[in-house]
């Protein structure tokens, strides 16, 4: 079965009385636009998202008919978890981790990332209090912004031109 788009989510669509089949994925597979997987019952699913930015979320519905529903389940994994004590600490931690180009997740006032021992030790050595936990990484912090243009020049160039003409 080829899936081109998500049907909905269990939180907003009724699944009562339907046979639930689960497609288990790792956190890093949620952003893959093309993949071939099998559900827990053995059903083959080919995901082929054509639009930029499409990603899978916990409890997304990939298929639904009058008897069956296929839901996404993001598997728990080992993660580094930190609870910042201030906005300054939150900003500093996010900056440092982002500066190393590592994925960052924010859930329930916690900063999380996939577990890597070198990063765990670096955070400890830097005075933070990281914890190692097994949990689902669900809400990735989107930090990459695609460049875009407005006409023949960028927005930044237009702002610079306006600012320099006012001098």
Tens digit of each residue's pLDDT (9 = 90 or more) over 118-154 = 999 999 999 999 999 999 999 988 755 444 444 555 5
Instruction: Give the C-alpha separation, 148 to 167, whole Å.
Output: 27
Q: C-alpha 71: how far from its chain's center?
A: 17
Phi, psi of 85 (to 5 degrees): -95, -10
Residue 151 C-beta-side C-alpha neighbours within 13 Å: 5
Render each residue's pLDDT in the chain as its tens digit; 167 residues: 999 999 999 999 888 899 999 999 999 999 999 999 999 999 999 999 988 888 999 999 999 999 999 999 999 999 999 999 988 988 888 888 888 888 999 998 899 999 999 999 999 999 999 999 999 999 988 755 444 444 555 555 555 556 555 54
For residue 140, give the DSSP letter. Answer: B
Q: Nearest CA to 140 among 26, 6, 7, 3? A: 26
Instruction: Give the C-alpha separation, 91 to 19, whole Å.
Output: 44
- The SS3 assignment for 86 reads coil
Instruction: Give the C-alpha separation, 50 to 119, whole Å.
Output: 34
Domains observed in the chain: 2-74 (2.60.260.20), 76-141 (3.30.70.790)
Q: Nearest CA to 105 among 122, 82, 74? A: 82
């Amino acid at each position: 079965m080829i899936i081109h788009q998500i049907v909905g989510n269990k939180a907003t669509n009724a699944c009562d009385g339907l046979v639930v089949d689960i497609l288990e994925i790792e956190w890093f597979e949620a952003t893959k636009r093309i993949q071939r997987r099998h559900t827990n019952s053995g059903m083959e699913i080919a995901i082929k998202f054509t639009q930029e930015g499409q990603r899978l979320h916990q409890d997304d519905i990939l298929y639904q008919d009058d008897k069956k529903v296929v839901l996404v389940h993001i598997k728990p994994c080992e993660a580094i978890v930190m609870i910042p004590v201030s906005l300054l600490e939150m900003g500093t931690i996010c900056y440092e981790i982002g500066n190393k180009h590592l994925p960052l997740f924010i859930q329930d006032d916690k900063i999380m990332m996939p577990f890597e021992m070198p990063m765990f030790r670096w955070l400890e050595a830097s005075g933070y209090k990281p914890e190692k936990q097994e949990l689902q990484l669900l809400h990735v912090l989107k930090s990459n912004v695609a460049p875009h243009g407005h006409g023949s020049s960028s927005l930044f160039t237009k702002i610079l031109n306006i600012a320099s003409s006012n001098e």
